[in-house]
Amino acid sequence: MSHSKTFLIISRRPPYGSSHARDALDTALTTAVFEQPVAMLFQGDGVLQLLKGQEPAAVRQKNLGATLSALPMYDIENLYACADALAQRGLTQDDLILPVQPLDRAGIAALIRNHDVVLNF
Amino acid sequence: MATLEIEGRLIELDNEGYLRDLDCWSPAVARALAQREPLELTDAHWEVIEVLRDFYLRFEHAPAMRPLVKAVAQQLGPDKGRSIYLMKLFPESPAKVAARLAGLPKPTNCL
Amino acid sequence: MTLHTLNRPPSDRALLDDCIAALVADDTLLLLEDGVYCALAGLELPAGVRCVALAADVAARGIGDRLATGIEVVDDIGFVELCCHHSRVASWF
């Protein structure tokens, strides 16, 4: 599409404690429905959204991990995570519900520069 | 508020015709909901309803059109995984109509 | 060229680190709300990054005389101009 812009959604809050993570995800899905190319970057505590085994029924919330795992169904395949944030929390790809590409500081700076619109949550 | 009576049970619907309690769904409920559209359910409809229910089980939301088409393509083959095919089965807005018949909530990020 | 806005004080270290890591030459960092407190001790920024603080937030907090050297102050019109002169805005909050 000639009018499409590339979107980068940066999600850096943990799930469930606030609506930020859900808002980031809803924005990503809606942007994809409008057929705009979307990438997502998980940074800081945002990488905790990717943990396997989330069971939020007891806190009366929907499973964010389940919705995140639908990202490829929306053709959102460009998923990145801050390598430092993963390492600081002792997380490896095996702990995560989705394959994500780890990025160092320079990689993140370049990612921002390569997108038309950046939305932080 | 609208209700359906099915096999002696009253099933509550919201004002857009979606089930209030998703656990009330059964094939008989789907047939009754289809009558309201009105729509005659064939095998072709049922297999799409199954794909939707499976999507909801895995991803905990009702899909918009694009992921619905993709899920149908993955499970029923590329000939059926096309919007035109789904438009014929569930006219006007396949993601919304099929979600209603499958007993799912209304798709939230649907155009 | 990206305009980065930061609205949290330096005690929010993880946010500050992620924000600074994202800066590259020709970017501008705009401190606003409690972010202007980052201007007290100053920030170690990559070469070629301009750092500005929003005048109203600086004045509200009484820190106009205490800003580290090299930090410019802009008013609301300056803020709008910055938005126009950069290709995207990243908001760190």
Q: What is the pairing mode between strands B9-12 and A7-11?
A: unpaired
Residue range B43-101, pLDDT digits in tens: 999 999 999 999 999 999 999 999 999 999 999 999 999 999 999 999 999 999 999 99
Name which of B61, B71, B111 is nearest A33 (Cβ-Cβ).
Answer: B111
pLDDT top residue among B9 and C83? C83
Is the reported ipTM for this assembly greater than 0.90? Answer: no
Nearest chain A residue to B111, by CA: A33
Contact A30 B109 (CB under 8 A): yes
The domain spanning residue B21 has which CATH number?
Answer: 3.30.1420
B106 within a domain of the structure (yes/no)? no
State the total domains in chain B: 2
Q: Are B72 and B91 in a shared domain?
A: yes
Domains and CATH numbers, chain A: 7-120 (3.40.1260.10)
Three-state DSSP at B43 gives helix
* Residues B53 and B93 placed together within one structural domain of the fold: yes
CATH code for the domain in which residue B47 is found:
1.10.10.370
Helix (H) or strand (E) holding B11: strand B9-12
pLDDT value of position B16: 92
Q: Are residues B10 and B58 in the same domain?
A: no
CATH topology of domain C2-92: Hypothetical Protein Ychn; Chain: A, (3.40.1260)
Whether the CB-CB separation of A6 and A109 falls below 8 Å is answered with no
My answer on whether B54 and B25 are in the same domain is no
Which one of C14, C21, C87 has the shortest CB-CB distance to A109?
C21
Note whether residue B22 is domain-resident.
yes
For residue A73, the chain B residues in CB contact (below 8 A) are 55, 59, 63, 67, 70-71
Residue B21 shares a structural domain with residue B66: no
Q: Domain containing B67: what range?
A: 43-101
Q: Quick one: B51 and B97 in the same domain?
A: yes
Three-class secondary structure of residue B31 per DSSP:
helix
| Same domain (yes/no): B54, B30 | no
Q: Tell me if A109 and C90 make a contact (CB, 8 A cut-off).
A: no
Chains in contact with B, counting 3 or more C-beta pairs less than 8 Å apart as contact: A
